[in-house]
Amino acid sequence: MITTASKLDFILRPLSGRERRTTFQLVIAIDDEVVWPVRGEARAMLEIQIDDLLAYLTEFWKPLMLRQVFPIAVTPLRPSDLRREAEQRWAGMQPATIEREEELVSSFEEAHDLATAFGGIFELPHFWMMRSANQMIFETSDTVWRLPFEGARTSLQSLGDEISKHLTKTDPERWDKAIAAWQRRDASDDVGLLAWSVGISRNLAGALIAEGNLKAPRDFNDAANDNDELRIAARMAGALPPEQIRTILGLARQFGRNDATKLRGLANECTKYVTERFTRKPPFVQGEAAALFAREKLGISNDGQVDIFDIADDLAIDVRSEVTEPTTFYGLAIWGDHFGPGVFLNAGSSRVGDRNIEKIEEDFATRVTLAHELCHLLLDDGHALSAVEVLKARMPVGVEARARAFAGEFLLPKEAAARIWLQARRPTDRATITGIVDELKKNYGVTWSVAAWKLQHGAALHNVDLETILDIIAPHR
């Protein structure tokens, strides 16, 4: 279960006794409901040593506040899934690689699971914390919450300050070093701040700064604000080799800044619509809802065909295309204080259906990619946006699922697909379904897989399941 919340509270209660001045009881509440260590049980408080908790917050403050990516090339939906996906990835890999990645996963778990702060307590339930753009994810065994990042940061900071204040009263000389370390928690060199915020090695961060490819954060707050488009682009592409990261940053810098007033207005309306009506819905539902809303606002009929390149031009999105490496790099959307709005489409990507096509606008896969990037521009600009579409991208799974659903529904609404199917008298045989998929593909300018996918959804509106036959016709939809 994933839910949106607004308030995080760490509730500490001291225990009486002269020898237990640093022993407290702790519960965590989200939106005034106790969620840890026992959901709904305010009296089931965990007995802790507050100096252990302060040491944890101090040691892992930077990864908690700045890190937004997983340490290996997987993109689990939630922090607790990291080890499971890592173990699947390790099947058949070399022992040395597994050992290196196991160490990275263990370090991630130590930093992002609050339970590790109290290692001596047996079978303590996990409480995961991880930054995600302008939100912070909190996870227990049964629920994932998304809270505003700044509010979560304030709550964690207040917790550390409260502990420091009590330790100062208790024995200032004994706890002087621990308190001083907490007070210096934001301190770091510029290379370290860039490495944490982008999710790359210190060596690469230093090289990118020295080359002028990236600007170092001015300070910790600048890194935490996460409003530099190029840093975000580097983070999204961070799983690629360094030279390919440099290539993508070079492409991003080509886009000048313009106001794009019409795009801004549409983005604000779409975001408000999704936030007010679909916040608690799955990402694919949000994407489809936003697509239909955008079609309506742009004056596109329910079954009308979309010229996505003309729409981008009308919205003042600078669209550029050329052949570049790697072939697994599909596109880039950039928009923020310094660059964009712009979209780069890789004419040499492995998704391009016809390498001999004269105009990239006529390639169906590229049309889908542009629609995908349009979703990022409309819905993902709560802070500076730089969305890189690349194999093994570090895009959050939910954000990517929403953009994928948007692209399909924007170019080919499932109701339009259903109408074609109904006109053919609701067929379920392979030959007729193949013909309908081909007709949808050509009429709406989408890929074979998108046409099949939307047909499946369209038939489902009429309680007919075409999944089995479409698994044969379009297995990779």
**Strands 144-148 vs 2-4: parallel, antiparallel or unpaired:** parallel
**How high is the pLDDT of residue 272?**
96
10 Å CB burial of residue 161 (0-12, 13-18, 19+) is middle
**How high is the pLDDT of residue 477?**
80
Q: Note if the bond before 413 is cis, omega within 30 degrees.
A: no
Q: For 56-62, what is the mean pLDDT?
A: 98
- 328 lies in the same domain as 428: no
pLDDT above 70 (res 44): yes
- Angle between helix 448-460 and 397-411 (nearest 10): 90
Token code pair at residue 375: 């979703």
Calpha distance 229→292 (Å, rounded): 28
Residue 183's contacts (CB-CB under 8 Å, 6 or more residues apart) are 164
**How high is the pLDDT of residue 21?**
85
Question: pLDDT tens-digit profile of 428-448?
Answer: 999 999 999 999 999 999 999
- 49 lies in the same domain as 144: yes
- 306 lies in the same domain as 359: yes
Asked which of 149, 183, 217 is the last residue of a domain, the reply is: 183
Amino acid identity, residue 179?
I
Q: Is residue 232 part of a domain?
A: yes
Q: Is residue 251 part of a domain?
A: no
- 313 lies in the same domain as 457: no
Residue 10, number of CB atoms within 10 A of its CB: 18
- Tell me how far CA of residue 273 lies from CA of 186, 230, 403, 449, in angstroms: 37, 29, 16, 28
- 238 lies in the same domain as 265: no
430 close to 277: Cβ distance less than 8 angstroms: no
Q: Note if the bond before 326 is cis, omega within 30 degrees.
A: yes
Amino acid identity, residue 393?
A
Residue 306, number of CB atoms within 10 A of its CB: 21
- 200 lies in the same domain as 76: no
Amino acid identity, residue 218?
R
Calpha distance 152→147 (Å, rounded): 7
Question: pLDDT tens-digit profile of 460-472?
Answer: 999 999 999 999 9
Q: For 157-186, what is the mean pLDDT?
A: 95
**Mean pLDDT, the chain, integer:** 93
State which of 205-209, 275-279, 393-397 shows the largest mean pLDDT: 205-209
Report which of 64, 403, 392, 385 is spatially closest to residue 226, judged by C-alpha positions.
Answer: 385
Q: Is residue 144 part of a domain?
A: yes
Mean pLDDT lowest among 148-157, 193-202, 373-382: 373-382
Question: Strand, helix or coil at 221?
Answer: helix
**How high is the pLDDT of residue 382?**
62
Token code pair at residue 263: 């795009």
Number of structural domains (the chain) is 4
Q: Is residue 255 part of a domain?
A: no
10 Å CB burial of residue 77 (0-12, 13-18, 19+) is middle
Question: pLDDT tens-digit profile of 366-406?
Answer: 999 999 999 999 998 766 688 888 877 788 888 899 999 99
- 200 lies in the same domain as 276: no
Question: pLDDT tens-digit profile of 236-265?
Answer: 999 889 999 999 999 999 999 999 999 999
**How high is the pLDDT of residue 19?**
65
- 343 lies in the same domain as 369: yes
- 71 lies in the same domain as 89: yes
- 382 lies in the same domain as 443: no
Question: pLDDT tens-digit profile of 98-143?
Answer: 999 999 999 999 999 999 999 877 789 999 999 998 899 999 998 9
Asked which of 406, 426, 457 is the last residue of a domain, the reply is: 406
- 111 lies in the same domain as 154: yes
pLDDT above 70 (res 355): no
Token code pair at residue 147: 């809270």
Asked which of 349, 378, 406 is the last residue of a domain, the reply is: 406
For residue 137, what are the β-bridge partners? 130, 146
Question: pLDDT tens-digit profile of 64-106?
Answer: 999 999 999 888 989 999 999 999 999 989 999 999 999 999 9
Question: pLDDT tens-digit profile of 320-352?
Answer: 999 998 888 999 999 999 999 999 999 988 888
Q: Is residue 252 part of a domain?
A: no
Q: Is residue 168 part of a domain?
A: yes
Report which of 133, 158, 183, 141 is spatially closest to residue 9, judged by C-alpha positions.
Answer: 158
Q: Is residue 78 part of a domain?
A: yes
| Res. 17 pLDDT band, cuts 50 70 90 | low
426: alpha, beta or left? (left if phi > 0; alpha if psi -120 to 50): left
- Tell me how far CA of residue 323 lies from CA of 14, 110, 347, 355, 392, in angstroms: 64, 42, 5, 10, 20
- 316 lies in the same domain as 211: no
| Res. 353 pLDDT band, cuts 50 70 90 | low
* Residue-range definition of the domain harbouring residue 448: 414-473
**How high is the pLDDT of residue 358?**
67
Q: Is residue 253 part of a domain?
A: no
Token code pair at residue 56: 């944890």
| Res. 26 pLDDT band, cuts 50 70 90 | very high
- DSSP assigned state of 380: S
- DSSP assigned state of 16: P
| Res. 279 pLDDT band, cuts 50 70 90 | confident
pLDDT above 70 (res 18): no
